[in-house]
Structures are given as C-alpha cells and as structure tokens.
Amino acid sequence: MQNSYSNQFSTAQIPSMMNHGGHEMFDSHEILSSFISLLDQYVMFEQFIQDQELKEILYRQHRFITDLYNITVDAFSTGRDPSHPTQSYKMNQSNQVIYGLQQTAPKKPMMSIQEISGQGISAYMLGLIKSTASLLAMTSLEITNPVLRRMMADSVPNFIEMGYELFLYQNKRHYYQVPQLAQQDMQQMRNSYAPSPQLV
C-alpha cells in the first residue's frame, strides 16, 4: 500500500526555481501585476503634475518601486536571493501634521481631463500605495518561498512610508485634513485602557 504522503517533498529536495506553492504563484503574479499597474499609472500622472514637490515624490517612489519590481522578478524567477536586498524607503517630508479643519470647496468628480489637479493626483497615488501595502501584507502571510516571503514582508513598511509621505504632502496643502475630538473626549479615550499582567 502506497503512503499517502509519497508526493510531498521538503524544501531541500526541490530546485530553488520550483520552491513555490500553487497559491503563492497566483499571489506572486498579482503582486508583480500590481507593481506594473502602479508604475504605469505613475508614468501617466507625471505629465499632469505642476507642483515640483509632488513630481519629486512621484520620481522618488517610481525609482524605488521599479527597483523592488526588478528584484522581485529576480527572486520569483530563481527562488533565490536577488542581486541586492530590499532597500529602505526614505521620505523627504517632515513629520509635522496639521490638525483641524479649514473651509474648502466641496469635492465632486471631474467632467474633463483639464480639471485634473495635484490634489487629485496625490490622492490617486495614495490610493495605489495603500492598496499595494495591503496586498503585500496579506500575501506575505501565505508565500512559502522564504526569500520571496521575506522580501514582500520587508516591503510593507516601505509602502507605509510612501503612503505617509503622500499623506503629509496632502495634509500641508489642506487636501487631507485631520479633525480632532474635543480635548475632554480625547483624554477620556486615552484613559480607557489599563495594562494587563502576563499570563505566566
């Protein structure tokens, strides 16, 4: 009688380029396709950006994501470490957040491409970065190849940093406003929890 586990192999028995699970193959294709889509859209946005600061953010993020795409293709294709490790993204914005609401014109959808603005483009960029961060976090929990899994997990903080950079850009222009609760309400909420003892 044949053992039901006869078709299972350990990582050491599988050539590096083949040590991917089936589910992981689909996740990897989704990740790489998302990188391509994000990069393509950044190229489309570039021609409409008037603000030099936003253009520099776009260029910096595009360079970083292009490099990440290339080393991900390398690791996915070979199953081994890519030509260089995942880098850390460094934003140029200060961490100063503006709190409170200012009166602004109501928002509405565009009726023509001539209405496109830095406010809209930075929001599109932020949406792309946030969705990619979520995808990387979710798929890195399911990737079996240790190199690819580490690369995707290591990339999540970088996309968080890129998203925060775009948030700060929008915030200082009052595109992304941050309301606050009344001081008494914030104090009450801050004091709503107490430390817990360890179980053992």
pLDDT digits over 50-83, tens only? 999 999 999 999 999 999 999 999 998 888 899 9
Q: Tell me the residue length of the chain.
A: 200
Q: What is the pTM of this model?
A: 0.86
pLDDT given at position 144: 85
Whole-angstrom Cα distance, residue 82 to residue 26?
20
Contact 128, 40 (CB under 8 A): no
* Model confidence pLDDT, tens digit, residues 17-44: 555 556 677 788 999 999 999 999 999 9
Closest listed residue to residue 110, CA positions, set 120, 101, 100 = 120
HEC profile of the chain: CCCCCCCCCCHHHCCHHHCCCHHHHHHHHHHHHHHHHHHHHHHHHHCCCCCHHHHHHHHHHHHHHHHHHHHHHHHHHHCCCCCCCCCCCCCCCCCCCCEECCCCCCCCCCCCHHHCCHHHHHHHHHHHHHHHHHHHHHHHCCCCCHHHHHHHHHHHHHHHHHHHHHHHHHHHCCCCCECCCCHHHHHHHHCCCCCCCCCC
> 161: pLDDT confidence band, cut at 50, 70 and 90?
very high
Domains and CATH numbers, the chain: 17-92+116-174 (1.20.1260.10)
What value does the mean pLDDT take over residues 181-196?
Answer: 93
End-to-end CA distance of the chain, in Å? Answer: 47
Buried b (16+ CB within 10 A) or exposed e, 83-119: eeebeebebebeeeeeeeeeeeeeeeeeeeeeebebb
User: Using CA atoms, how far apart are residues 20 and 13, in angstroms rounded to an integer?
Assistant: 13
The average confidence (pLDDT) of the chain is 89
